[in-house]
């Protein structure tokens, strides 16, 4: 039996039949773009107010429209506004409810605009708020890192290159590297926000409108910094969605890198941190297990955000000007990027705040049991006039000898040092002690304790006082 077609009521008299029910379901976006309801109401109120000011409708009519739109907002807050599939999207849903509330006057709201510029406006308003929420999440993440760093200025940790022991570091210095990454993330989001904060409203379907509207009135009313200069670009631009997703992807890159380190640090092989019960789970089979689920999930969710970025790029790349229905696919991607990024930032902040405990004694043992002070032996010789490359070769051979004898550099008696080179004095043992090795790295930006204390102070000043709690990202 053939499926019954729905009624063509929402379209013009150009159409004689409604959509096939399956196509209606396929076409509809109300299931997810209802997320934009508050922004659609805000933009519609600004549009109605502008129509009244420009004399397109009377001021009294504009006031009636605004009051009815606020009624829809109240109904939504109380759970009484429940659009269905027949509404297709949030824009039609609001318009239908408006007409039901105030009759034919509700049909005037769409004067001088199209769903094309309407959806672009709503999405930008939503993303602007989301960016502000993510900035707050990044700030909390930075604060959590900074608090840990404050507690571990003088705690040592092995530094690695190629995942091989390289040189000892201040643990605070290691953690502050992630503070700097997050600062760049915040800068990128602020930069993207500037390009999000441009109004397409009034570009209409693609060519503007003969209706005597004032686009700058609505832009100012909605807090936009500027308007799109070209109506075609206004309705077809999704660069901001790609830019935002790229910035979010870098946030997840940084969170995933830290996650990988925490996972390694929590292993028996490293043993640098203990997981608290607040942020770890157990095994359904092995009772001794305590699993780092939070960083593992963050590491996994990074791929999800990267995938949305690639999906947006692929969706946009072949679209001719101007608006195309393909753009419907931007919303679920952006909604999920924001939600996933916000959730990961919160989870990692909590992990740092109360989920891990560093083990200074284990870290001290680690830095005392390797050859990560070998470069400092070479530096010792350089300070006494030996060319670096000559010193480098001498120390390389010494490390090879120590490995064959099962010794560390600290175990060598002074006579062995002097056999290697007469420049060695009795102070060589103090010079290669891990804490001295770290303290000696006094170059700007280095891991020397004095320099790290300076970095901590700069980060505190840059972060400023703790802000008031903000509403969560949408």
Domains of the chain: 21-108 (1.10.275.10), 115-206+228-365 (1.20.200.10), 367-463 (1.10.40.30)
3-state class (DSSP) for residue 158? strand
pLDDT value at residue 473: 46
Q: How confident is the model at residue 4 (pLDDT cuts 50, 70, 90)?
A: very low
Percent of the chain whose predicted confidence (pLDDT) is above 90: 89
Task: Please confirm, yes or no, whether 283 is among the known catalytic residues.
Answer: yes
Q: How confident is the model at residue 15 (pLDDT cuts 50, 70, 90)?
A: confident
pLDDT value at residue 16: 72
Q: What is the mean pLDDT of residues 349-362?
A: 97
Contact 226, 219 (CB under 8 A): yes
pLDDT value at residue 5: 46
pLDDT value at residue 337: 98
Contacts of 278 (CB under 8 A, 6+ apart): 350, 354, 355
Catalytic entry in 12, 80, 162, 443: 162
Cis peptide preceding 339, ω within 30 of 0: no
Q: Which residues pair with 357 in a beta bridge?
A: 274
pLDDT beyond 50 at 208? yes
pLDDT beyond 60 at 265? yes
Q: Read off the pLDDT of residues 39-88 as tens digits, 9 standing for 90 and up.
A: 999 999 999 999 999 999 999 999 999 999 999 999 999 999 999 998 99
Q: What is the mean pLDDT of residues 209-220?
A: 98
What letter does residue 370 receive in the DSSP assignment? S
Q: How far apart are CA 184 and CA 440, in angstroms?
A: 28
Contacts of 218 (CB under 8 A, 6+ apart): 43, 46, 47, 49, 50, 199, 201, 202
Q: Which of 55-69, 101-115, 279-293, 334-348 shows the lowest per-residue confidence on average (mean pLDDT)?
A: 279-293
pTM: 0.92
pLDDT value at residue 226: 98
Q: How confident is the model at residue 9 (pLDDT cuts 50, 70, 90)?
A: low
Q: How confident is the model at residue 467 (pLDDT cuts 50, 70, 90)?
A: low
pLDDT value at residue 289: 78
Contact 344, 298 (CB under 8 A): yes
pLDDT beyond 80 at 334? yes
Residues in the chain: 474
pLDDT beyond 50 at 185? yes
Q: Which residues pair with 199 in a beta bridge?
A: 227
Who wins on pLDDT, 2 or 9? 9
Contact 422, 414 (CB under 8 A): no
Q: What is the DSSP string of 289-334?
A: --B-HHHHHHHHHHHHHHHHHHHHHHHHTTPPSS--GGGGHHHHHH
Q: Read off the pLDDT of residues 382-440 as tens digits, 9 standing for 90 and up.
A: 999 999 999 999 999 999 999 999 999 999 999 999 999 999 999 999 999 999 999 99
If we measure between CA atoms, which residue out of 469, 286, 290, 437 comes closest to residue 373?
437
Q: Which residue in the block uniquely carries the two structure tokens 């007469």?
A: 422
- How many CB atoms lie under 10 A from the CB of residue 107? 12
Helix 239-265 vs helix 329-350: angle between axes, to the nearest 10 degrees? 30
Q: What is the mean pLDDT of residues 347-358?
A: 98
Q: Are strands 156-161 and 164-170 parallel, antiparallel or unpaired?
A: antiparallel
Q: Read off the pLDDT of residues 269-327 as tens digits, 9 standing for 90 and up.
A: 999 999 999 888 877 777 677 899 999 999 999 999 999 999 999 999 999 999 999 99
Q: Read off the pLDDT of residues 243-257 as tens digits, 9 standing for 90 and up.
A: 999 999 999 999 999
Q: ∠ CA 114-36-225 to the nearest 5 degrees?
A: 70
pLDDT value at residue 286: 78
Q: How confident is the model at residue 10 (pLDDT cuts 50, 70, 90)?
A: low
């Amino acid at each position: 039996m053939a499926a019954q077609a729905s009624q063509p009521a929402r379209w013009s008299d150009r159409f004689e039949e409604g959509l096939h029910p399956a196509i209606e379901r396929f076409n509809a976006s109300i299931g997810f773009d209802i997320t934009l309801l508050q922004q659609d109401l805000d933009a519609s109120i600004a549009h109605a107010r502008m129509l009244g000011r420009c004399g397109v409708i009377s001021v009294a009519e504009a006031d009636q429209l605004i009051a009815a739109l606020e009624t829809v907002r109240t109904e939504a807050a109380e759970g009484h506004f429940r659009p269905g599939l027949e509404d297709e999207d949030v824009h039609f849903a609001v318009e239908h409810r408006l007409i039901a509330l105030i009759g034919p006057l509700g049909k005037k709201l769409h004067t001088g605009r199209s769903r094309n510029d309407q959806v672009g406006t709503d999405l930008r308003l939503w993303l602007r708020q989301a960016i502000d929420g993510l900035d707050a999440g990044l700030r909390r993440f930075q604060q959590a890192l900074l608090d840990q760093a404050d507690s571990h200025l003088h705690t040592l940790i092995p530094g690695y290159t190629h995942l091989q022991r390289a040189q000892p570091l201040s643990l605070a210095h290691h953690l502050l590297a992630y503070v700097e990454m997050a600062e760049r993330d915040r800068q990128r989001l602020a930069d993207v926000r500037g390009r999000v904060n441009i109004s397409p409203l009034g570009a209409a379907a693609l060519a503007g409108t003969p209706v005597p509207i004032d686009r700058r009135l609505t832009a100012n009313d909605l807090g936009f910094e500027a308007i799109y200069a070209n109506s075609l670009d206004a309705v077809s631009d999704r660069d901001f969605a790609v830019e935002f997703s790229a910035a979010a992807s870098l946030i997840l890159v940084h969170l995933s890198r830290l996650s990988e380190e925490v996972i390694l640090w929590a292993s028996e092989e490293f043993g640098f941190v203990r997981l608290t019960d607040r942020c770890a789970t157990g095994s359904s089979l092995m009772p001794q297990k305590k699993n780092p689920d939070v960083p593992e999930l963050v590491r996994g969710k990074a791929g999800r955000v990267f995938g949305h970025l690639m999906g947006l790029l692929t969706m946009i790349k072949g679209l001719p000007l101007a608006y195309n229905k393909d753009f419907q696919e931007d919303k679920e991607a952006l909604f999920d990027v924001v939600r996933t990024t916000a959730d990961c930032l919160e989870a990692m902040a909590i992990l740092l705040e109360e989920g891990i405990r560093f083990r200074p004694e284990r870290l001290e043992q680690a830095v005392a049991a390797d050859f990560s002070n070998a470069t400092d032996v070479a530096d010792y010789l350089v300070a006494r006039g030996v060319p670096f490359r000559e010193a480098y070769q001498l120390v390389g051979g010494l490390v090879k000898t120590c490995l064959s004898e099962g010794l560390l550099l600290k175990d060598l008696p002074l006579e062995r040092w002097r056999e290697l080179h007469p420049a060695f004095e009795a102070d060589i043992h103090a010079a290669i002690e891990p804490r001295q090795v770290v303290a000696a790295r006094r170059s700007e930006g280095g891991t020397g304790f004095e320099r790290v204390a300076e970095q901590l102070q700069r980060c505190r000043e840059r972060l400023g006082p703790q802000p008031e709690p903000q509403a969560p990202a949408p």
